[in-house]
Amino acid sequence: MSSPHLPLSRRGFLLASAGAGAALGLAALPAHATGGPRPFGRYGSPEHRLTPGTLYVDPYGRGDLTTVQAAVSAATGSGRTLVLAPGVYRETVAVDVTRTEATWIGASENPRDVVIVYDNAAGTPKPGGGTYGTTGSATATVQGDGFTARWITFANDWLRADHPDITGTQAVALKVQGDRSAFHHCRFLGHQDTLYADSTALGVFARQYFAHCYAEGDVDFVFGRARAVYEGCHFRTLDRTDLAAPPYGFVLAPSTAGANPYGYLVSRSRISSAAPDAAYKLARPWVPSSDTTARPSLVVRDSWLGPGIDAVAPYTDMSASFPWQNQRFAEYRNLGPGAEITVAENRPQLTDEQAESATRETYLGDWTPWKEC
């Protein structure tokens, strides 16, 4: 299994900048990350484009545009590529359904160098009244089918401690809804609801693939109703000082539609923690009020679960009306202290026969994004 780059956590970014509550700044980036004389690396330049449809983005003005959203707005239609020079892009970005088959490339091929970040939470007041809500809090929202990103960090650096008056603490780094959405060597940094792997509508079974990615957070930090495969990924649970006792949070919270045979598949991955042992649950089912027929689906297989996971009771309910035992949760051949089976009824396991269909090929069908790794 290929290993992701060693993660510099979101808190590490913050501590590297002016203060623990400061926004991400260039001081948080490695010294080489301003790009030097070739900010776009081996991916060409405005003078020597990879393709006529490639646009170059650089916050220092050496590309076609200086912000990601401006480049997205300029890249109309299908099949456009954005090459992002190293830097911190403090903005929100939206890719609508008309912008299909888009590709974003972090030019340095190190996701620490290219950071797209903002700091809205669900309870953040909106200009003109109201609040953003969970969906509106997203730093980046991707709805177009066929989207691919490589070597990019998506972050939401909103902090509870800085906003004690706000109760809507969901703060999404990325909401992705398109079918055939692939992320290779990307990072997703936040606290609550970091990575929202979803679809555009209840009856749309959007397929998504995350390869050698890193995601961190605390409450439900990988969640949604997509048919999503996480392969060779690293999930890290953050410590919390605002709670007197565990659970501190939950890694996964799928909301799979009842008609969708497949939800989340975590394969050949690992879960580590900055929190005390057994402080986190592996998952809880999300049955949203907008779809009470949802039957959340999750398989975690061939993965290493660290001591931060409560091995005795790794699953819990989000609502007593929808107990996790009635959902589609299972494990297979996991290792590590968080995978130890101490109470068998709390750790449903796939049989060998069932495991034969719990694969990326089954979940993703005729789409084979791993061949692009």
Query: Pick from 12, 157, 45: which is nearest to 57 by CA?
Result: 45
* H helix runs in 144-204, sequence order: none
Residue 79 makes CB contacts below 8 A (sequence gap 6+) with 53, 100, 101, 102
CB-CB contact of 117 with 110 (8 Å): no
- DSSP class per residue in 289-322: TT-TT---EEEEES-EE-TTB-SSS-B--SSTTS
Catalytic positions, please? 193, 220
Cα 247 off chain centre by: 21
Residue where the block lists tokens 């990326």: 360
Q: Which tokens belong to 355?
A: 């495991």
* 3-state secondary structure (DSSP) of residue 218: coil
CB-CB contact of 194 with 121 (8 Å): no
SS3 content of the chain, % helix, strand, coil (to 5): 15, 30, 60
Q: How many residues does the chain have?
A: 373
Instruction: Strands of 74-143 (E only): list them.
Output: 81-84, 87-90, 93-95, 103-106, 114-118, 140-142
* 3-state secondary structure (DSSP) of residue 107: coil
Could you count the other beta carbons within 10 Å of the beta carbon of residue 7? 18
Question: Which one-letter amino acid corresponds to residue 53?
Answer: G
* H helix runs in the chain, sequence order: 10-16, 68-74, 133-136, 352-355, 360-364
Cα–Cα distance for residue pair 295/263, rounded to 1 Å: 9
